[in-house]
Amino acid sequence: MPFSEKRIRYLQLLARQYPSIRTASTEIINLSAIMELPKGTEHFISDIHGEYEAFLHVLRNGSGSIKRRIEEIFQDTLVEREKRNLATLIYYPKKKIPLLLQEIEHPDEWYRITLFRLIKMCRVTSSKYTRNKVRKALPADFAYIIEELLHEQESIANRQDYYNSIIDTIIETDRAEAFIIALAQLIQRLSIARLHVIGDVYDRGPGAHIIMDELLNYHSVDFQWGNHDIVWMGAAAGSEACIANVIRVSLRYANMETLENGYAISMLPLVSLAVDVYGDDPCNHFRPKQAADSFTENEQQLMAQMHKAITIIQLKLEGQIIQRNSQYQMDDRLLLDKIDYEKGTIQMNGKTHPLKDSHFPTIDPSDPWKLSEQEKSIMDKLRLSFSNSERLQTHVRFLFSKGSMYLTYNGNLLYHGCIPMTRHGKLRHFNLDGVDHSPKAFMDRLERLARQGYFSTDDPVKKQYGQDTMWYLWSGAQSPLFGKEKMATFERYFIDDPATHQEEKNPYYDFRTRQEVAKEILAEFGLDTENGHIINGHVPVKVKKGESPLKAGGKLLVIDGGFAKAYQSKTGIAGYTLIFNSYGLLLAAHQPFESTQKAIEEGQDIHSDTQILEHNVKRIRVRDTDKGREIQERIDDLKQLLEAFRSGIIKES
Q: Which helix (H) or strand (E) holds 577?
A: strand 576-581
Does residue 51 have a pLDDT over 60? Answer: yes
Single out the residue in 436, 456, 473 at which a domain terminates.
473
Report the domain count for the chain. 3
Residue 366: is it exposed, middle or buried by C-beta count within 10 angstroms (0-12/13-18/19+)? Answer: exposed
Query: Where residue 536 falls among pLDDT bands split at 50, 70, 90?
Result: very high
Cβ contact 357:305 at 8 Å: no
> Over the chain, what is the mean pLDDT?
92
Same domain, 312 and 359: yes
- Alpha-carbon span 495 to 504, nearest angstrom: 17
Same domain, 280 and 379: yes
Query: Which domain covers residue 631, as residue numbers?
Result: 5-37+625-646
Does residue 208 have a pLDDT over 80? Answer: yes
Cα Rg of the chain (Å, integer): 28
The predicted structure's pLDDT at residue 442 = 96
- Alpha-carbon span 165 to 34, nearest angstrom: 33
The predicted structure's pLDDT at residue 292 = 59
Does residue 158 have a pLDDT over 70? Answer: no
For residue 133, give the nearest of 236, 28, 34, 2 by alpha carbon. 34
- Within a domain: 579: no
- Rounded to two decimals, the pTM is 0.93
For residue 98, give the nearest of 177, 188, 179 by alpha carbon. 177
Single out the residue in 412, 445, 473 at which a domain terminates.
473
Q: Which helix (H) or strand (E) holds 320?
A: helix 297-324
**Mind listing the pLDDT tens digit for each residue in 256-268?**
999 999 999 999 9
**Mind listing the pLDDT tens digit for each residue in 368-399?**
999 999 999 999 999 999 999 999 999 999 99
Does residue 453 have a pLDDT over 90? Answer: yes
The predicted structure's pLDDT at residue 607 = 66
Same domain, 180 and 301: no
Residues written for the chain: 653
User: 273 to each of 17, 235, 258, 368, 387, how far by Cα in Å?
Assistant: 63, 20, 21, 18, 21
Higher pLDDT, 586 or 215: 215
Same domain, 186 and 296: no
533-536 and 556-558 strand pairing: parallel
The predicted structure's pLDDT at residue 387 = 97
DSSP sequence for 494-508: HB--GGGG--PBPTH
Same domain, 247 and 104: no
Single out the residue in 147, 171, 191 at which a domain terminates.
191
Cβ contact 466:237 at 8 Å: yes
Same domain, 227 and 331: yes
- Within a domain: 31: yes
Query: Where residue 417 falls among pLDDT bands split at 50, 70, 90?
Result: very high
Q: Which helix (H) or strand (E) holds 390?
A: helix 390-402
Does residue 157 have a pLDDT over 70? Answer: no
Higher pLDDT, 600 or 155: 600
Does residue 531 have a pLDDT over 70? Answer: yes
- Within a domain: 60: no
Same domain, 395 and 254: yes
Same domain, 33 and 90: no
Does residue 164 have a pLDDT over 90? Answer: no
- Within a domain: 597: no
Same domain, 157 and 233: no
Most confident range (mean pLDDT) of 139-153, 366-380, 582-596 is 366-380
The predicted structure's pLDDT at residue 554 = 93
The predicted structure's pLDDT at residue 432 = 83
Q: What is the DSSP code (8-state) at residue 168?
A: H
Which residues are bridge partners to 421 per DSSP? 427
- Alpha-carbon span 247 to 652, nearest angstrom: 64
Does residue 605 have a pLDDT over 60? Answer: yes
Sign of CA dihedral 131, 132, 137, 143: positive
In this structure, of 159-168, 346-355, 407-416, 483-492, the range with the lowest mean pLDDT score is 159-168
pLDDT mean over 480-486: 95
